[in-house]
Chains A and B, each alone.
Chain A
């Protein structure tokens, strides 16, 4: 046997797993179907009913960012749910883990592949959205210039400034990053569920429940605390629910972006840290369960 020094942790092995997972996912038809649906929805928002240019930009942002959020979430769940059960069913997991590959690296490579896929999808959808928004902004700018051809220069500049601030603004970028982090969180949680699930259908069904509970739990919590007071049993119960089901509504910054409310740096960092924290915790939990799993 050729001399190779074994390393307990190897980025090369993780990289091999990551590249393979990304290849696997990009060769799946479902990936392209979801991406095309998302791009069509973003593109079609260009032709939606419009009254004023502010409303038009609001609708465009609302539909596009909403589509990005839903499709990245859907992709995160569908893509991750199949990875481990499929490997076990096809016995590929035996072949991989019978090599000098620690289970933690196997999982890390899998999740890194999904996160990379989500990053590519978010970039493609984000680029399409910005392109559509830019195209509409230019159309409105030219139309305004035509209408105000005889108006004073200051008045024209003011009108153009209002149009520009209603269309492309800096808040869109942190919004897109938060959409990506929410998808990462869902991918990590799906990976965790799939470590003890036997089929990907089970994982997807569980994740559908988690998705809805995650979006409703903040509202339910507020209502419960207002109506029933805050006894310690209630607080413990709500804390357990919050721990098991991440507050996905906290990642919904789209409404603020649509109405033009500036997203503060503190809110962005708080949400981003929450996303990274949840993603890391769920990945660690998945590794813990998978470590003791009998294959």
Chain B
């Protein structure tokens, strides 16, 4: 059996509070196993221990107890990070560098150079849609653009695991959707994605597996579809049904042992409505007189 992308065993992290005889338990006895090629969502409210767990996995913080591994390598070892790309929450990067210079800098840190680095930069700028802004300094980038250049730097060395801490925090719905599409594209290419979020609707759209943290403890864990399924209920979504057909279905259900819980019109999402509306507005703005 191959090594999982991430293995966390008995992880506990306690932060001492200076000048106080107390400490904060950020993560308590956590066990996780993230298989290769899946999108894993680490969910939880603010202060639940998500970011601390990610930092320990990345070797930025040392655990009080327990161990973490990336593709079978102890994550405290620097070489384990060859396989990892990381995008921190609300990244700033170096404002004085352009988008292209930023990717070149991170590429060089990963041992890339010459034509392969140049090609990789072009490929990633194209992937995240920043080719036109490549010569602009990051100081002039919007939050969504910063998030996308952040994702590009995380992918610069073609990692097998991408760790994203709140990847859509503070990004508008259009930017958020672009990032979501990029994550789905990573999954299609077989890259494992570990993301932390408290935006549950988004996590539901993209995650295969989720773990829910509360006060540093893993309170739920498993395949998303299994966790959210209601075993004794079934949904039908029917298009172009006449009122007569719907009434017949309803009376058929009422004659059986089953119980109709709710009958309603299908709705779109608020996000879809927003995106359609703003897209139409943009089209109107650019329409010639």
* Chain B residues near A91 (CB-CB < 8 A): 88-92
Q: Mark A95-107, 1 if CB is under 8 A from B, else 0.
A: 1111111100000
- Chain B CB within 8 A of A153 CB: no
Which residue from chain B places its CB closest to the CB of A26 in the assembled complex? B96
Interface presence of A4 (CB below 8 A): yes
Q: Known interface pairs A1-B159, A6-B82, A23-B97. Does A95 touch B62 (Cβ–Cβ under 8 Å)?
A: no
Q: Which of chain B's residues 30-84 have a Cβ closer than 8 Å to chain A?
A: 55, 58-62, 78-79, 81-84
Q: Indicate which residue in A15, A20, A27, A98 contacts B163 across the interface (CB closer than 8 Å).
A: A98
Identify which of A6, A8, A20, A27 contacts B105 (C-beta below 8 A): A20
Nearest A residue to B120 via CB reads A2
* Residue B274 is within 8 A (CB to CB) of chain A in the complex: no
Q: How far is the CA of A23 from the CA of B96 in the complex (A)?
A: 8
Stretch of B106-114, B221-229, B242-250, B280-288 that contacts chain A: B106-114
Q: B79 touching A100 by the CB < 8 A rule?
A: yes
Asked if A256 is at the interface (CB within 8 A of a chain B CB), the reply is no
A15 CA / B113 CA spacing, docked (Å): 12
Do the beta carbons of B109 and A101 come within 8 Å of each other? yes
Assembled-state Cα–Cα distance A193/B27 (Å): 30
A97 to B61, CA, bound (A): 11
Interchain CA distance A101-B105 in the complex, whole Å: 12
Q: What residues of A have a CB within 8 angstroms of the CB of B62 in the complex? A: 294
> What is the size category of the interface that chain A forms with chain B?
20 to 34
Contacts of A98 in B (CB 8 A): 58-60, 81, 84-86, 88, 163
Residues in chain B near residue A55, CB distance under 8 A: none
Query: Which residue of the partner chain B has the closest CB to A104?
Result: B78
Interface size of B as a range: 35 or more
B83 to A1, Cβ gap below 8 A?
yes
Q: Is the interface of A mostly helix, strand, loop or mixed?
A: loop
Q: Are A95 and B153 in contact (CB under 8 A)?
A: yes
Contact B109 A96 (CB under 8 A): yes
Return the chain B residue nearest A25 by Cβ. B96
Chain A residue with the shortest CB-CB distance to B93: A92
B134 at the A interface (CB under 8 A) = no
Closest chain-B Cβ to A226's Cβ sits at a distance in Å of 42
Is there contact, CB below 8 Å, between B106 and A99? yes
Contact A100 B106 (CB under 8 A): no
Question: Nearest Cβ distance between residue B66 and chain A, in whole angstroms?
Answer: 16
Partner of B82 from the list A4, A23, A24 (CB cut-off 8 Å) is A4
Least distance between A30 CB and chain B CB atoms (Å): 13
Across the interface, which residues of B come within 8 angstroms of A295, CB to CB? 55, 60-61
Contact at B60–A100, with CB atoms within 8 Å?
A: no
Hey, which chain A residues are within 8 Å of B78, CB to CB?
6, 8, 100-102
Would you mind naming 22 contact pairs between A and B with Cβ atoms under 8 Å apart?
A: A1-B157, A1-B159, A2-B158, A4-B82, A4-B112, A6-B79, A12-B111, A13-B109, A24-B94, A24-B96, A90-B93, A91-B91, A92-B91, A92-B93, A94-B55, A95-B106, A95-B150, A95-B153, A98-B85, A99-B110, A102-B78, A294-B61
Could you list 6 further interchain pairs (A-B, Cβ under 8 angstroms) beyond the known A90-B92, A91-B88, A97-B60? A1-B157, A12-B111, A15-B108, A98-B86, A98-B88, A295-B55
B interface with A by C-beta (< 8 Å): 15, 55, 58-62, 78-79, 81-94, 96-97, 101, 105-106, 108-113, 116, 150, 153-154, 157-160, 163
Q: A-B pairs with the 9 shortest C-beta distances?
A: A98-B86, A16-B108, A90-B92, A27-B96, A6-B79, A91-B88, A94-B88, A295-B60, A100-B81
